[in-house]
Amino acid sequence: MSQKFKIKKGDNVIVTTGRDKGRTGEVLEVIPAASKLKVQGVNMVKRHRRATQTNPGGIEQFEAPIHISNVAHIDPESGSATRIGYTVTDGKKERIAKKSGKAIA
């Protein structure tokens, strides 16, 4: 069974552990079944691909999934890592940064 995550596609996150620690990027894809996500420009890997009729082949470089526990949201005010909370304003539930209290777009 997959979980519901507070990180969504299009969010800006910072990597907290691993070889890409400190790098930031936008979430390209969330994979709930594996508890992973892809972040633009983070965890880049190279794969040698054989040529096919549609693909010329060669060395391809792309983002590999990273575990969701290794990233954190970026606080819109300070630019550092923050946790996410929820608040209800005018009948609408919105995500807020715990550090500054600002809304996450």
Residue 66 sits at the vertex; the CA angle it makes with 62 and 68, to the nearest 5 degrees, is 145
Does residue 1 surpass a pLDDT of 70?
no
Mean pLDDT, the chain, as a whole number?
Answer: 94
**Looking at the domain 12-97, which fold is it?**
SH3 type barrels. (2.30.30)
For the segment 24-34, the average pLDDT, to the nearest whole number, is 95
Task: Name the DSSP class of 4.
Answer: P
Does residue 10 surpass a pLDDT of 90?
yes
Please give the span between the terminal C-alpha atoms of the chain, in angstroms, as a whole number: 28
Kindly state the percentage of the chain with pLDDT values over 70: 98
Predicted model pTM: 0.84
* Cα dihedral: 71, 103, 40, 25 (round 10): -70
Q: Which of 75, 86, 65 is nearest to 4 (CA)?
A: 86
Does residue 105 surpass a pLDDT of 90?
no
Q: Cα separation of 102 and 105, whole Å?
A: 9
Domain boundaries defined on the chain: 12-97
How do residues 35-82 score in pLDDT, each as one tens digit? 999 999 999 999 999 999 999 999 999 999 999 999 999 999 999 999
